[in-house]
């Protein structure tokens, strides 16, 4: 019996459960007990099928590992090639299960879940991390047990050694979105006019410091904050320097009259 060609040899990734659902692109190691000519590494095709010797094409996408083992055993038995086939399948490489990372990361795109239990922190590392203008948090969207799932996660919480509850495990079809960081805007007599990243609990004075402070012609007197309120109207007032800012606030630093 001629041996079937090995598609690709890849270091196996241990730990995929027997109820893992196979998908197109997955690389499998099929082992038939005492039948080396029927043992091979083969990839599930784009149409979800596996071309297996003697039996022909088998639809494996959507089956668990155990179901795929039983299907091959049934084919070998019904074709009278083996009386009591014993088939075991291990997942070598996953390509059919993907997660999308969008927004302000270094390398947005779709990433395969190549090992069981892939966590958010590891996925972000694959995407190159958050850009300089990325927010301090992210949103994870997906489905859990058939129910739509949405979770907001603070980036800092992913790396807290005593609590990994926020470093969630991602699943097939999940979408991770990193929004742009909120900003406030400074204009007028300020050293570096324009947007300033709004840090947590940032005050008027801290925003001024981040922009280099007033120019020699500027003054802190009469500094105004303009904010769009809930009804869409704009409100302006002279704030305390210790007043906290909100996303989208606009600070105007006037010119000194003296």
Phi/psi of residue 125, nearest 5 degrees? -65, -40
- The answer on pLDDT for 106 being more than 70 is yes
- Report the C-alpha gap between 246 and 184 in whole angstroms: 7
pLDDT score at 1: 36
pLDDT score at 221: 87
Confidence class for position 17, pLDDT limits 50, 70, 90: low
Let me know if 116 is exposed, middle or buried by CB neighbors in 10 A (0-12, 13-18, 19+). middle
- The answer on pLDDT for 11 being more than 50 is no
- Report the C-alpha gap between 85 and 32 in whole angstroms: 7
As a whole number, mean pLDDT of residues 225-235 equals: 91
User: In this structure, are residues 50 and 60 in contact, taking their beta carbons and an 8 Å threshold?
Assistant: yes
Phi/psi of residue 126, nearest 5 degrees? -65, -35
Give per-residue pLDDT as tens, 130-150.
Answer: 998 899 999 999 998 889 999
Q: Is the pTM of this model over 0.75?
A: no
User: What are all long-range contacts of 205-209, with beta carbons under 8 Å and residues at least 24 apart?
Assistant: 205/241, 205/242, 207/245, 207/251, 208/241, 208/251, 208/253
Give per-residue pLDDT as tens, 149-166.
Answer: 999 999 988 877 666 778
As a whole number, mean pLDDT of residues 73-81 equals: 90
pLDDT score at 258: 65
pLDDT score at 94: 78
Higher pLDDT, 13 or 125: 125
pLDDT score at 18: 65
Phi/psi of residue 218, nearest 5 degrees? -90, 165
Residues 6+ apart with CB under 8 A from 146: none
User: In this structure, are residues 37 and 1 in contact, taking their beta carbons and an 8 Å threshold?
Assistant: yes
- The answer on pLDDT for 4 being more than 60 is no
The structural domains of the chain, ordered by start, are 27-93 (3.30.1950.10), 98-178 (3.10.560.10), 183-253 (3.10.560.10)
Helix (H) or strand (E) holding 207: helix 204-210
Higher pLDDT, 14 or 103: 103
- Percent of the chain with pLDDT strictly greater than 90: 57
- Percent of the chain with pLDDT strictly greater than 70: 91
- 250 to 1, 131, 184, 201: CA distances (angstroms): 78, 24, 6, 16
- The answer on pLDDT for 103 being more than 90 is yes
pLDDT score at 7: 32
User: In this structure, are residues 140 and 170 in contact, taking their beta carbons and an 8 Å threshold?
Assistant: yes
- The answer on pLDDT for 115 being more than 50 is yes
Higher pLDDT, 167 or 258: 167
Give the largest CA-CA distance in the chain.
102
């Amino acid at each position: 019996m001629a041996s079937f060609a090995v598609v690709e040899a890849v270091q196996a990734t241990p730990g995929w459960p027997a109820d893992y659902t196979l998908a197109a692109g997955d690389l499998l190691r099929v082992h038939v007990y005492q039948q080396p000519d029927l043992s091979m590494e083969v990839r599930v095709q784009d149409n979800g099928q596996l071309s297996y010797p003697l039996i022909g094409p088998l639809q494996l996408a959507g089956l668990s590992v155990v179901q795929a083992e039983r299907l091959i055993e049934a084919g070998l038995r019904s074709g009278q090639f083996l009386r009591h086939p014993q088939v075991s399948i291990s997942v070598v490489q996953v390509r059919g299960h993907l997660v999308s990372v969008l927004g302000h990361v270094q390398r947005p795109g779709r990433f395969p879940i190549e090992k069981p239990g892939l966590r958010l922190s590891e996925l972000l590392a694959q995407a190159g991390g958050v850009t300089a203008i990325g927010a301090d948090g992210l949103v994870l969207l997906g489905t859990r047990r058939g129910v739509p799932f949405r979770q907001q996660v603070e980036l800092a919480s992913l790396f807290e050694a005593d609590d990994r509850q926020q470093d969630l495990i991602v699943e097939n079809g999940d979408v991770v979105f990193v929004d742009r960081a909120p900003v406030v805007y400074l204009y007028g007599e300020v050293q570096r006019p324009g947007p300033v990243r709004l840090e947590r609990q940032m005050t008027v004075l801290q925003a001024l410091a981040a922009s280099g402070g007033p120019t020699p012609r500027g003054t802190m007197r009469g500094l105004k904050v303009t904010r769009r309120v809930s009804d869409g109207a704009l409100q302006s007032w002279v704030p305390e320097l210790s007043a906290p800012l909100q996303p989208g606030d606009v600070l105007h630093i006037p010119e000194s009259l003296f």
